[in-house]
Amino acid sequence: MDAGVVAALRRAQRVTVLTGAGVSAESGVPTFRDAQTGLWANFKPEQLATPGAFRQDPKLVWEWYAWRREKLHTVEPNPGHKALVALARRYPEFTLITQNVDGLHQRAGSKRVIELHGNITRTKCFDENIVVPEWTETGEVPPRCPQCRGHLRPDVVWFGEELPDEAINEATRASGACDVFLSIGTSSVVYPAARLSEVALRSGATVVEINSDETPLTRNATFSLRGASGMVLPELLRAVGFA
């Protein structure tokens, strides 16, 4: 384990973590940029996760999310998610920001999670942009909003849509006010989330990337740990003396 990373985590009082799809990969959730399999092999996620795709074919997009939601019932948090729960206990200020919509951090036991891109288990009205907790199933796909009869959609952030104000504001604040910033399992290509590591670097934080591959962040990060987060994070905790 890199001695510089260990020393930075031992010194730190304020730690901010940004996670992406890679952190859930070892739970069996495909990453966003993995090729899709089965029914969805012919579709690119980037082409389905847009308001335009939903307007054009709401049934297709609803069914894609229904399929992904179903698959979440068969997966569990992995050692990477659990290591972040343990890490949080060690710092007076700890902020966990995720781009993931799968809720696995919360299921692992993380208490406060800033969800930048929403949560796949919530549903909202496409027209009114308000969360809809319940509706009547009539067999129509997607189902209709009980208020306005418009289409329902998952409460996630698609390309070209604004991130929830409170989430991005709090994430930006915590990224600019930390001693160590960990960027874990994200390709660092989707903005504004990718900007958070830049904010941390500019404010003088030690930025540590944990990823099985290189990303555009690799060359700018203070340290880069190459490997699966479900292995690297528990190892890091042991090296720091937290496990």
Residues lying near ligand BJW in the complex (CB under 6 A) are found at: 20-22, 25-26, 31-33, 49, 99, 101, 117, 156-162, 185-187, 189-192, 211-213, 215, 228-230
Nearer to ligand BJW, 8 or 49 (CB): 49
Nearest Cα neighbor of 94 from 186, 178, 199, 11 is 178
Q: How far is the CB of 26 from ligand BJW (least distance, A)?
A: 5
What string of H, E and C letters represents the secondary structure of 70-133? HHHCCCCCCHHHHHHHHHHCCCCEEEEEECCCCCHHHHHCCCCEEECCEEEEEEEECCCCCECC
Q: Is 81 a catalytic residue?
A: no
Residue whose beta carbon is closest to ligand BJW: 22
Nearer to ligand BJW, 138 or 166 (CB): 166
Kindly state the DSSP code that residue 148 receives in the 8-state scheme: T
Q: Among 73, 81, 105, 117, which one carries the catalytic annotation?
A: 117
Nearest Cα neighbor of 180 from 221, 149, 142, 220 is 221
Q: How far is the CB of 116 from ligand BJW (least distance, A)?
A: 7
Distance of CA 207 to the CA centre of its chain: 18
Q: How far is the CB of 166 from ligand BJW (least distance, A)?
A: 15
Nearer to ligand BJW, 131 or 189 (CB): 189
CA distances from 32 to 24, 27, 78, 159 (A): 11, 14, 18, 13
Nearer to ligand BJW, 8 or 81 (CB): 81
Q: How far is the CB of 13 from ligand BJW (least distance, A)?
A: 26
Residue type, 238: R
User: Which are the catalytic amino acids?
Assistant: 117
